């Protein structure tokens, strides 16, 4: 992952300097590093590829406050929650810092009928405690690459691959190690979706309204964590070994796992809509809604590991209200945004943690 992130940073820097375009006869045009990518991600999606700095406020309810790590117990008992912090309902405020970008690389267009573009996106997402000290709870890496097509300026389709990987914060790891004996668990649990297939579709029939859908599917040869989330039939990218056995051994699970149904693939599906109201010479107000569906929510993992047909998919709802100021030659477009979220805590490794929060912050699109 380090090599890919380094390559992405170098690419972003080079493209910023190379921005150029040419127009040919009969309406054909070609651009290097267009300023705005064809596919505009949902501004309410917590993991959109934008740069933002926000303060989050959760209810004073321990149900929505992360104080435990999910650890594997191995064959002795599935997974369990072990504390890294005291339960204190006044510890309900966080800083969310995200540094990410969504860039077009090369764009070919024919008049206003069709445009095709290569894209790259990625960045880091982190959450810090805003009580006492500012210890980091964790950070996430994400990146992707693919192609986008836009038809008549209304229908946009993006296809490529997408990577997610969660990492624990060092201060919280230190606190966790002070509280828990190493013999009480096998491994800490991490969330990974390595180079999943990604399909996005957006339709904007009028200037002030658009809808979108996103479908993310892990590949049959991929790295997926935790063990409980792995669909049957997935193999490791190296040596092509069954991933269930490979990750299972790392997390302490050696006994055969009960089969999951064939239709379980660890899907992530997102749906959204946005309303925009332009203010001439200033920018635009917007109201965005995003809902995420996680098929891995159907897996039981506390105490035992099994696919549960009676459990629903995990569902997340996010609403964002903001005002985005116009982009200038000297600065990127930025917005002031208010957010309400009901779903998972906004760090990948905390996928098991229920979360509700209000957020206020600044968002910049590069």
Q: What integer pLDDT is reported at residue 18 of this predicted model?
A: 53
* Range 42-70 average pLDDT: 95
* 29 and 21 Cβ atoms separated by less than 8 Å: yes
* 337 and 365 Cβ atoms separated by less than 8 Å: no
Q: What integer pLDDT is reported at residue 25 of this predicted model?
A: 64
Distance (Å, rounded) from C-alpha 192 to C-alpha 222? 10
Query: Phi/psi at 133 (nearest 5 deg)?
Result: -90, -175
pLDDT digits (tens, 9 = 90+) for 267-299: 999 999 999 999 998 999 999 999 999 999 999
pLDDT digits (tens, 9 = 90+) for 85-124: 888 888 899 999 999 999 999 999 998 899 999 999 999 9
Give the chain's mean pLDDT.
91
Q: What integer pLDDT is reported at residue 267 of this predicted model?
A: 98
- Check residues 32 and 16 and name the one with the higher pLDDT: 32
Above 90 in pLDDT, residue 337? yes
pTM equals 0.91
Distance (Å, rounded) from C-alpha 338 to C-alpha 331? 22
3-class SS of residue 305: coil
User: Which residues, at least 6 apart from 358, have a Cβ–Cβ distance to it below 8 Å?
Assistant: 56, 57, 338, 339, 340
Query: Which pLDDT band holds residue 9 (cuts at 50, 70, 90)?
Result: very low
């Amino acid at each position: 992952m380090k090599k890919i992130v380094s390559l992405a940073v170098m690419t972003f820097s080079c493209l910023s300097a190379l921005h150029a375009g040419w127009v040919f006869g009969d309406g054909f045009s070609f651009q290097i590093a267009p300023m705005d990518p064809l596919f505009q991600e949902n501004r309410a999606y917590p993991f959109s590829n934008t740069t933002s700095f926000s303060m989050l406020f959760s209810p004073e309810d321990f149900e929505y406050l992360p104080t435990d790590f999910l650890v594997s117990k191995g064959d002795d008992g599935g997974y369990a929650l072990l504390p890294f912090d005291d339960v204190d309902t006044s510890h309900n405020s966080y800083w969310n810092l995200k540094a990410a970008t969504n860039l077009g690389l090369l764009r070919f267009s024919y008049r206003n009928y069709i445009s095709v573009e290569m894209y790259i996106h990625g960045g880091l997402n982190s959450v810090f405690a805003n009580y006492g000290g500012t210890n980091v709870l964790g950070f996430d890496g994400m990146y992707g690459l693919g192609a986008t097509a836009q038809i008549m300026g209304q229908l946009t389709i993006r296809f490529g691959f997408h990577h997610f990987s969660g990492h624990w914060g060092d201060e919280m790891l230190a606190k966790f190690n002070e509280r828990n004996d190493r013999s009480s668990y096998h491994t800490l649990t991490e969330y990974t979706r390595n180079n999943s297939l990604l399909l996005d579709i957006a339709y904007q029939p009028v200037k002030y309204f658009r809808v979108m859908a996103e479908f993310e599917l892990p590949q049959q040869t991929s790295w997926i964590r935790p063990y409980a989330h792995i669909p049957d039939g997935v193999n490791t990218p190296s040596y092509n070994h069954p991933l269930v056995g490979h990750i299972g051994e790392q997390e302490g699970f050696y006994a055969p796992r009960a089969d999951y149904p064939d239709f379980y693939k660890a899907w992530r599906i997102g749906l959204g809509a946005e309303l925009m109201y332009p203010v001439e010479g200033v920018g635009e107000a917007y109201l965005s809604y995003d809902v995420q569906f996680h098929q891995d929510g159907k897996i039981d993992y506390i105490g035992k590991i099994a696919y549960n047909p009676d459990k629903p998919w995990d569902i997340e709802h996010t609403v964002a209200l903001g005002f985005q100021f116009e982009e200038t030659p000297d600065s990127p477009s930025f917005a002031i945004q208010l957010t309400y979220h009901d779903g998972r805590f906004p760090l990948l490794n905390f996928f098991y943690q229920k979360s509700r929060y209000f957020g206020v912050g600044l968002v910049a699109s590069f």
